[in-house]
Every structure is written in C-alpha cells, then in structure tokens.
Amino acid sequence: MPKVEIETTPEPQIAGIPFARNIYPMWVFDRETLAFVDVNDAAVQQYGYSRREFLRMTIADIRPPEDVPVLLRQTQELRPKGPSTGANWRHRDRNGMVFPVAITSWEVNFRGRPAELVLARREK
C-alpha cells in the first residue's frame, strides 16, 4: 500500500463532490484496511484530531468500543451502487464525547485503491 503523505492538504473534490471545504466532516477510508486516507477541515475541527492524527487512525478509532463489532461487519458487506445513507451510528471525538451521526457514503477509487468517501452529519 502506498504511504499516505500526511503533510498534504485535502483534495478539493472527490468523485465530483466538494470535499476540502465542505461544511460537513468528510473523509476517505481504505476499504481493505479501514485507514483514513484523506480528511477535510470540518472533520479536523469537529472531531478535534489533527490531520496528521486522523491519517494515522482507522475508522474504528472514532467509534465507541462497543460499536466496533457492528462497524466491522458492516464494512465487509457488499454495498449498492451510488450513495448509501445510514443513521444510528455513533462517533467519538478526541475528548471521548460520543454523539449520534447520520452518514452518507460513496464507494470510490482513491489513489488506485478501493475506498469509501464519507460525509458525517451530527444529529441532535
């Protein structure tokens, strides 16, 4: 797997979708390793991790430990083409605060790897 360049800035667009400056937290993760491979500024601000920290983590690291088994099962399933939306997910920020999110995601090819582009909307 190619080494992720941590000092880069986020991609302006991914799969035609505004990414870097999107007001919602967004990231791309590798479908095989679940590692973050790109993250936008809104994710850095709202989750409290630096870009460098995010790019050294996997998507399991932002979940409460009790939610990880379900996440791992979900990421192994084949997905329908086009955007996929799911509610009832919980994320955890750098300070350990857990909050509900609604997720919209798209399967993409990112830097030659199968990946998923995710937009996370915090729910009240």
pLDDT digits (tens, 9 = 90+) for 68-110: 999 998 887 766 666 677 767 999 999 999 999 999 999 999 9
Domains recognised in the chain with CATH numbers: 13-122 (3.30.450.20)
d(CA 106, CA 65): 25
What pLDDT, on the 0 to 100 scale, is given for residue 84?
75
Quick one: which H or E segment has residue 34? none
- From the CB of residue 59, how many other CB atoms can be counted at a distance below 10 Å? 20
Task: Choose between 64 and 6: higher pLDDT.
Answer: 64
Q: Looking up tokens 């990112």, which residue turns up?
A: 110
Is it the case that residue 27 has pLDDT exceeding 80?
yes
